[in-house]
Amino acid sequence: MPKELNKLEKIIKVVFNRKELLEEAIVHRSYINEHANFHLGHNERLEFLGDAVLELIVTRHLYLNYPNPEGELTNWRAALVNSKMLSETAEEMGLYDYLYLSKGEAKDSNPKARGYILANAMEALIGAIYLDQGFEVASKFITKNLLSKLPRIIEKKLYVDPKSNFQELSQEKVGITPSYQVLEESGPDHNKKFVIGIYLEDELIAKGVGTSKQEAQMDAAENALKARYF
């Protein structure tokens, strides 16, 4: 199925010299498994390169623009380059619509799997931009799409994990340490689903869902932060 690469180029604001690099960046391994004679390989090698390019450009920007200690810069970098941030940015671009996926992957409604695919594709795209256009164009792309989010990350303390962040806020604002309770538990052992509530004393602030208690707690804390309770 041919992809409309020119539309994708308009979205990312990069016109490729070697269109096959852009196309390879959006080929998921599952597609190759179904289409062994496809003219390109999957995007994992580009992802490997893009991961390194992304980390270098973000690190360089932080080093040159912020005099903060190494520990803080490391936390900020992690918040910018983690899979959640990458997948969210890819979603904003509508990148999923351009991916080459197997029929099974395309129908999979699991948000975690979708996020993982998108994060990897974002890294592959960065790798492709770097190979085709060089360091400065890759840097411009990363600055516009990821580094632009840094002020909000710092202001909202998004570099702190949600549980720690909400606990710090709740202790500071109301003097209460939040607690967590399992509200629902379902599914077989290999595919559990937990619904967990986050409480301030007896008040339910938010709920979270996950495949483990820890994941559901993190989701609950993140939802509590989004609720702007304080």
The residues assigned a catalytic role are 51, 123
47 is in an annotated binding site: yes
Interhelix angle for 70-81 vs 44-65, to 10°?
A: 140
Judge whether 126 and 138 are in contact, CB under 8 Å.
yes
- Could you tell me if 194 and 212 are in contact, meaning their C-beta atoms sit under 8 angstroms apart? yes
Dihedral sign from CA coordinates of 145, 151, 156, 160: positive
Determine whether the annotation assigns residue 91 to a binding site: no
Distance CA 127, CA 45 (A): 9
Q: Pick from 4, 99, 103: which is nearest to 47 by CA?
A: 99
Q: Enumerate the known binding-site residues for Mg(2+).
A: 47, 120, 123
Q: Enumerate the known binding-site residues.
A: 47, 120, 123
